[in-house]
Amino acid sequence: MKNVLVLCTGNSCRSQIAEGYLKYFAGSKATIYSAGIEIHGVNPKAIKIMAEDGIDISNHTSNHVDEYAGINFDYVITVCDNANEACPYFPGDVTRFHHNFPDPAKARGTEDEVMDSFRQARQQIKLYMQQFVEQHLTKTL
């Protein structure tokens, strides 16, 4: 089984959404982790918009990348430029991927406008993670 880490700045929104979708799309093909360079706690709006799409991330925790130092990852996906630049070294045969998704936590405006930003980011992350699983994890069966 493959080990996949999704890395973001605070492990509060984008990496949590990505973890939820990777677990959904990969099923038993991989063990999915998410972490941050910092820990900001899971954003309640991320939990809400994932529930809208039928995925429960309410039990996710915000974890620091150092917590996973003993795990041999096959893939590391950074979902923001800051995490990509600050990504620690992972020993072994690790393949890294990077996609800078917009940070919905920085959205400003009315509640509806902010939630729309979260939904837009969710959709982008969903498509990327679905493609990632199809391209990299279905081969492991």
Q: Which residues are catalytic?
A: 8, 80, 87
What's the DSSP call for residue 64? Answer: B
Distinct helix (H) and strand (E) counts, the chain: 4, 4
Closest C-alpha to 76, from 2, 6, 1: 6
Half-sphere exposure of 40 (CA within 13 A, CB side): 16
Residue type, 126: K
Strands 95-98 and 2-8, by their bridges, are unpaired
